[in-house]
Amino acid sequence: MSNYRLKVSASKKQFPLKPFPLTSTIWGILLISGVVNVLGLISPLFMLQVYDRVLASGSVPTLVGLVVLAGGLYAFQCLLDILRARVLLRIGERFDGQFSGRVHDAIVRLPLSTRMPGDGLQPLRDLDNVRGFLGGNGPTAFFDLPWMLFYLSICFLFHFWIGMTALVGAIVLISLTLLTNGLSQRPIRDTVAHNMVRNGLLEAARRNAEVVQALGLGKRIAARWHKANAKYLAANRKAGDVAGGLGGISKSLRVMLQSAILAIGAYLVIRQEATAGVMIASSIMMGRALAPVDLAISSWKPFLMARQSWARLEDLLAKISETAPVMPMPAPERELRVEGVTIVPPGERKPTVTGLAFAVQAGTALGVIGASGSGKSTLSRAIVGAWAPAAGKVRIDSASLDQWDREALGRHVGYLPQGVELFDGTIAENIARFEDNPDPEAIVAAAKAAGTHELILRFEHGYETPIGEAGSALSAGQRQRIGLARALYRDPFLVVLDEPNANLDAEGEAAVVEAIASVRERRGVAVVVAHRPSAIRAVDYVLMMEGGRQRAFGPRDEVLPKVLKAAAMAPGAGVKATGSTQDNVRECADMEDPDVRHRSEQ
């Protein structure tokens, strides 16, 4: 499905989906299936012997011997059926184990490369579909289908017309199977597509439950979901009608064929061309021969869903490059450099940031200012490597971000996004970035650096307080300060803060200013995106952005007066367009030294 196909640069190394290596296991299942199908002769041969030998001779010992022999063989057949089912279940688990990591990686990286589909978890559901089919009864039918010829041959050995009746029945049922395949593909594909849409709508409503409740959107949102759900149910009903209708026809045909073969057998017995045992045995034999076809028809919908899911997974994973191993880099210590960076947001074609170029040395802080929509947050995402630039490079100590191992680089980067997202877990786990065996002293140090330590201690369970999904148990300001502590954990070299004081009170703003100062003191690099002037007061350099372009860059005390003067001299329309920027710069200038303010007024 094209909704979540990724476009990856041709320069990146591709890792197509490799075949599922189960050759020895498949041969083992084929062997087990062969033995099971040979043992399928127990019932017809038992009936043949009972009718033609036991009843004719009246020998009870013969009957007892046949019963004991048949019982032992039935037990062995049962054991093999259980073994085959257990092996198939483990094949499904092995498939999941081989691809679940890559599917998880694809789901996480999907929003960074393309627009999210209606249901971002569809690849996981596709994985479940394939695993469920591999571990279910569906494959059993396909392993048993080749043995249909074996049973048909025995029917011909009983009598030519018995064999012809069974052959005609097999041809009819196989035709039904092919018809099921042709009629089911599109309805099942439509079912999956509509299911993705309805799941996406429901997930969006769940994430925005507060807005839905506050604005009274419940009925309208529910109406949209019910409309999507009705389309899903219609597509699912169509697919179910096809599978269920043809499945019902196949079952009826099987019963009719068994009756027909009994009738033909009776006719042959009357004409003394067959025995009563052959008549009963041939009926059981034909039922055994046609059983795999009937099972295949009933399993066709799961089979088609699994096949379509596999095709989507193959298409998705083949287009996502696996992370190739890279040589470890030394810890950064010199600078952050942005070289001619152009950024195109995921799923878009037009760049929103173009031609940015600047460098920030260790021990300094950069403030990024500009009107809303000027590209500040886009730049912050590119600096931390969340979005890959369409052109240009972001370098840390001369090494571009794509030359770093992501996990290794993450230890040297602190990032506080504009919309702070925390994970279900404790406060300590979130600050420590869910690190294995984290250092409690480092957690407390990060919390203190963010001015959050005392706030955390006011919770009943302190650092062990569960915060719920996405930090739902916390206020926006509390999430902001815990997110800041996470960004400062283990003193990363590069700290990028996007609107760090957006939800903070005066105490929180002071903590942000102190955190920026602490990054500078320990020879790190801080990049602060801000509208409010308190954070700009703590930086050394200022980058002014407008319309996705770099308008000014340099020392704070030089850039702010120039930007303010240029904004004041702009025509009326221009002043109106950049009014928020003017206000921001004026506030920043008002908080500076008197001589800086004097220069700006001149």
Pairing relation of β-strands 391-396 and 541-546? Answer: unpaired
Asked if residue 32 has pLDDT above 60, the reply is yes
How many Cβ atoms sit within 10 Å of the Cβ of residue 3?
17
Spell out the alpha helix ranges (H) of 114-159: 122-134, 138-144, 148-158
Name the β-bridge partners of 400: 395
Q: Do domains 22-319 and 335-568 have the same CATH topology?
A: no
172, 294 in Cβ contact below 8 A? no
523, 335 in Cβ contact below 8 A? no
Closest CA to 503 of 526, 527, 474: 474
Domain 335-568 falls under CATH 3.40.50.300:
yes
36, 141 in Cβ contact below 8 A? no
CATH top-level class for 22-319?
mainly alpha
What is the rounded CA–CA span in Å between residue 262 and residue 284? 10
pLDDT at 522: 93
% pLDDT > 90, the chain: 26
Pairing relation of β-strands 391-396 and 335-343? Answer: antiparallel
CA dihedral 565, 566, 567, 572 (to 10 degrees): 120
State the average pLDDT over residues 121-138.
84
Domain boundaries, the chain: 22-319, 335-568
* pLDDT band at residue 343 under the 50/70/90 scheme: very high
What confidence tens digit (pLDDT) does each residue in 79-101 have?
998 998 888 888 888 888 888 88
Q: Which of 42-56, 66-80, 286-300 has the highest mean pLDDT?
A: 66-80
Higher per-residue pLDDT: 220 or 565 = 220
What is the rounded CA–CA span in Å between residue 41 and residue 566? 94
Asked if residue 442 has pLDDT above 90, the reply is yes
What is the rounded CA–CA span in Å between residue 383 and residue 158? 79
